[in-house]
Amino acid sequence: MMLRATIAGFPSRDHYNLSFSGAATAVFLILVVRYFNSPWRKLPPGPPGLHILGNALEICGPFWEKFVDWRRTFGDVFSWNAMGYPIVVVNCL
C-alpha cells in the first residue's frame, strides 16, 4: 500500500512528453527568430570561414592579394568574417 502511494505521487509519462515537446518547440522558435534577426543573413556573399576564427587564417600575408582573389570569385562587393565580426569589402576603382 505504501509503494502505491509513493508511485502515485510522481507525474505521469504524459506530463514528461508534454514538457519535452514544449521545450523543443520553444528552442525551435528561439532559433527561428535569431535566424531572421541575424546580421549574417543580410550580408553579400563571401568566402566560408571557420566557426570562431572566420577567415583570419587566410589573411596572414598581404591582405590585398586575397581581396583580389575574392573579387574574382565573389564580385566587387563581398563580405568576410574577421573573428566573429562581419566586414563588407567594396572593390571599385
> What digits encode the pLDDT tens for the residues 57-79?
888 878 888 888 888 999 899 89
Residues 67 and 82 in one domain: yes
Residue 86 belongs to what domain range?
Answer: 42-93
How many Cβ atoms are within 10 Å of 55's Cβ, its own excluded?
Answer: 19
Residues 93 and 61 in one domain: yes
Residues 65 and 25 in one domain: no
Residues 11 and 47 in one domain: no
Q: What does the pLDDT read at residue 62? A: 85
Buried b / exposed e over 12-47, threshold 16 CB at 10 Å, is eeeeeeeeeeeeeeeeeeeeeeeeeeeeeeebeebb
Residues 48 and 80 in one domain: yes
How many domains does the chain contain in total?
2
What whole-number distance in Å separates Cα of residue 44 and Cα of residue 74? 9
Q: In terms of pTM, does the model score above 0.85?
A: no
Q: What does the pLDDT read at residue 5? A: 47
What whole-number distance in Å separates Cα of residue 90 and Cα of residue 76? 6
For residue 82, what is its C-alpha cell? 574577421
pLDDT in tens, 20-55: 788 888 999 998 888 888 766 788 888 888 888 888
Residues 48 and 87 in one domain: yes
Residues 32 and 50 in one domain: no
